[in-house]
Amino acid sequence: HGKRYAVIVNEFGEIGIDNDLVVGADEDVFEMNNGCVCCTVRGDLIRVVAGLMKRQRPGKPAFDAIIVETTGLADPGPVAQTFFVDEDVKAKTQLDSVTALVDAKHVMARLDDSKEAREQVAFADRIILNKTDLVTEAELVEVERRLRKLNPLAPITRAERANVPLDQVLGLGGFDLGRILDINPEFANPAHGEAGHVHDEHCDHDHHDHDHSHHDHDHGPTHGARGHAHEDDIKGISLSLERPMDGTKFTAWLDRLLGEQGQNILRAKGIIDVHGEDRRLVFQAVHMILEGDLQKPWGANERRWSRAVFIGRDLDEAALRAGFEACAA
């Protein structure tokens, strides 16, 4: 495409996975391992964006655009707000648009049980309706009806494997501050959540249970009575193992896990060192839908280890860790 993009990835979980999955890409990927963007955006994100803006190519900026990829658990509002409340960022960047990537197979259930999912759809300038090959046309029509009810202004683009033309998501000039003010009247107020949102590197996050009660967040009425957008029962669990895995054992365990607990596993992804295999096994899952394949070979001097992150509701960390480690060769 001839463009140079910087990609900022926010990880949910203490072991970064996405940076290793971006194989052979020219883009620079920055991971912010806090998992709760709404708590860190004015600290980490501003510092990362400021660092990117200091880079230069002869006669022009180092990047044509900066893409911020939050997780499916993040409220896009504070991310967008960063580009308006920080004077340096505001002076040197222009927020182009917010895109929501929607899972056509599972979104209806998420919209029913997640205020955040509804806010993400309502916040978007563009909705990419992905995995359309996994549902019927009638189901797609119903999903689109529901999405349009939440957001009548955002165009909906159907996609498989998130494959869409770049001009459908980049360079839209579609960000409309007025619409976001309608969604959250406190959006453009720099004092909104100030005490709870301006964290520095000394902020103590517990990544296993994601308990933020010690921050005394005050989000105001638009964030609901619970006081924080993330449900207490949703957490990210990071697993790692230095020994090679038995590929058959691991596949059987993962299949069984998703079959039994897939309804509660929102996302899972990992990179596995399979015994006797020169290539790494890369997998990702959404609920009970699992995708995995052998990918890039391990380097001669590269550290070979297995790591995985599971994000979901009511997950038993001890049981997950025991099952994962039992797959060792």
Number of domains the chain is built from: 2
Task: Tell me the C-alpha distance between 158 and 209, whole Å.
Answer: 35
Residues 201 and 76 in one domain: yes
Note the pLDDT tens digit of each residue in 13-37.
Answer: 566 666 565 544 443 444 444 444 3
What pLDDT shows up at residue 11? 62
Q: What is the dihedral of CA 10, 13, 16, 22, to 10 degrees?
A: -60
What pLDDT shows up at residue 29? 45
What pLDDT shows up at residue 59? 72
- Residue 230 placed within a domain: no
pLDDT-flagged residues of the chain (< 50): 23-42, 176-181, 183-232
Residues 143 and 64 in one domain: yes
**Partners of 6 in the β-ladder:** 28, 66
What pLDDT shows up at residue 168? 83
Query: How far, in Å, are 28, 98, 163, 253 from residue 4 at the CA level?
Result: 9, 19, 19, 40
Query: What size, in residues, is the chain?
Result: 329
Task: Tell me the C-alpha distance between 110 and 103, whole Å.
Answer: 10
Look over the chain and give the mean of its residue pLDDT values, rounded to a whole number. 72
Task: Tell me the C-alpha distance between 217 and 106, whole Å.
Answer: 30
What pLDDT shows up at residue 68? 85
pTM score of the predicted model: 0.58
C-beta separation of 123 from 38 below 8 A: no
- Residue 178 placed within a domain: yes
Tokens of 229: 């957008």
What pLDDT shows up at residue 71? 65
Could you give the angle at which helices 115-123 and 137-150 cross, rounded to 10 degrees?
80
What pLDDT shows up at residue 154? 79
Residues 194 and 239 in one domain: no
Task: Tell me the C-alpha distance between 178 and 176, whole Å.
Answer: 5
- Residue 42 placed within a domain: yes
Residues 189 and 316 in one domain: no
SS3 77: helix
Note the pLDDT tens digit of each residue in 134-157.
Answer: 999 999 999 999 888 877 677 899
Residues 111 and 54 in one domain: yes
- Residue 129 placed within a domain: yes
- Residue 269 placed within a domain: yes
Residue-range definition of the domain harbouring residue 186? 5-223
55 φψ region: left (φ > 0), alpha (ψ -120 to 50), beta (else): beta
C-beta separation of 245 from 294 below 8 A: no
Query: How far, in Å, are 8, 82, 89 from residue 46 at the CA level?
Result: 11, 7, 7
Note the pLDDT tens digit of each residue in 211-223.
Answer: 333 333 333 323 3
Tokens of 131: 């995995």
**What is the DSSP annotation of 188-224?**
T-TTTTHHHH---TT----TTT---GGG-----GGG-
Instruction: Tell me which H or E stretch contains 103.
Output: strand 99-103
Task: Tell me the C-alpha distance between 235 and 77, whole Å.
Answer: 21
Task: Tell me the C-alpha distance between 204 and 201, whole Å.
Answer: 8
**CATH code for position 239:** 3.30.1220.10
- Residue 94 placed within a domain: yes
Task: Tell me the C-alpha distance between 29 and 22, whole Å.
Answer: 8
**Partners of 62 in the β-ladder:** none
What pLDDT shows up at residue 2? 75
